Amino acid sequence: MLVIYNPAAGRRRAQRLWRVLDVMVHNGVKLQIAETLHAGHATILAREAASRGARLVVAAGGDGTIAEVAAGLAGSPTPMGIIPLGTANVLAHELGLPFAPRDVASALAFGRTRPLWPGLSRTHGQDRLFVQMISAGFDAEIVHSLQPWFKRAFGRAAYVMQGLRETIRYRFPRISLQVDGASLEAASVIVSKGRFYAGRYTVAREASPLRPGFSVILFDRSGPLSAIAYAAALPLNRLAHMPGIRVLRGSEIQLDLHRTQADGDPAPPGPTLIRDAPTPIEVVVG
């Protein structure tokens, strides 16, 4: 079993990781640990492990790390395990994964899997796999502006503070997009594989990362007051009931020139085509 971990995640997350690994080692599980050195390194490490016939590759981190590992395993029979160490851990909540160290270790040892169907975005000819969502607009601007050290220091609160800054600075331009060929426009867009956003906050009740297709959440209203109102409704799970919210289903989405973020990490700017990945990935769920 190979565990891929980003050492830049911080001391507290490293302690959580080692609590899980201690349980596994105590129960006789043979482990290898590989630390990432740069963005995209987790994909390289996972791909190399899959080519060697690894029994299981484990992503220890948040949704961004999970997406990188999934990209390396795509097209191979090697399943992916998850040790949730991120700020929001959206996919872990989506799949109902455990968080307590002993329960995480037990799930990985048991090895029961389910097929996860990732999304694939293409910008300037470059493909990027994502496991939960990709978005454009106000939240993408927050992700692009948020400094990594600030995120490590304050966790979820960093997004709230950065969001308040962006309500003053962001211009709220309209976003043009196409959903299965139909031309649309919105202030912000979330293209989601699953139900949850930013943790366990519901944005699309009928969505599931276990099947093809996407839920497209369109925010029609723009401006600082609308952004604050939408943000306040999110933790109350009332976003879908807010004025100016539309939720569509689609299998091919084209976004225009705006900045995007994928699984909580900045994504390359430019016209972006979003489709399902060619094949699913087996993910350990317990």
pLDDT per residue as tens digits for the range 49-106: 999 999 999 999 999 999 999 999 999 999 999 999 998 999 999 999 999 999 999 9
Return phi, psi of residue 112, to 5°: -70, 135
Cα 81 from Cα 29, distance rounded (Å) = 14
What is this structure's pTM?
Answer: 0.94
Looking at residue 7, its pLDDT comes to 84
pLDDT per residue as tens digits for the range 41-62: 999 999 999 999 999 999 999 9
Looking at residue 227, its pLDDT comes to 96
**Contact in structure between 135 and 73 (CB atoms under 8 Å):** no
Looking at residue 153, its pLDDT comes to 87
- pLDDT interval class at 4 (50, 70, 90): very high
Instruction: Give the CATH number of domain 122-279.
Output: 2.60.200.40
- Percent of the chain at pLDDT > 70 equals 99
pLDDT (mean) for 119-142: 96
Instruction: Give the CATH number of domain 2-118.
Output: 3.40.50.10330
Residue 226 reports pLDDT greater than 90:
yes
**Contact in structure between 85 and 95 (CB atoms under 8 Å):** no
Neighbours of 56 (CB within 10 A): 19
Give per-residue burial for 254-268: e unless 16+ CB within 10 Å, then b: bbbebbbbbbbbbbe
Cα 262 from Cα 250, distance rounded (Å) = 18
3-class SS string, 67-116: HHHHHHHCCCCCCEEEEECCCCCHHHHHHCCCCCHHHHHHHHHHCCEEEE
pLDDT per residue as tens digits for the range 146-174: 998 898 889 889 999 999 999 999 999 99
Cα 245 from Cα 240, distance rounded (Å) = 6
Cα 19 from Cα 7, distance rounded (Å) = 15
- pLDDT interval class at 35 (50, 70, 90): very high
Number of residues that this document lists for the chain: 286
Instruction: Give the bridge partners for 189, in sequence order.
Output: 136, 218
Q: Where in the chain is the domain with CATH 2.60.200.40?
A: 122-279
Residue 8 reports pLDDT greater than 80:
no
Q: Where in the chain is the domain with CATH 3.40.50.10330?
A: 2-118
Looking at per-residue confidence, does 284 or 110 come out higher? 284
Cα 197 from Cα 88, distance rounded (Å) = 8
**Contact in structure between 162 and 144 (CB atoms under 8 Å):** no
- pLDDT interval class at 125 (50, 70, 90): very high
- pLDDT interval class at 258 (50, 70, 90): confident
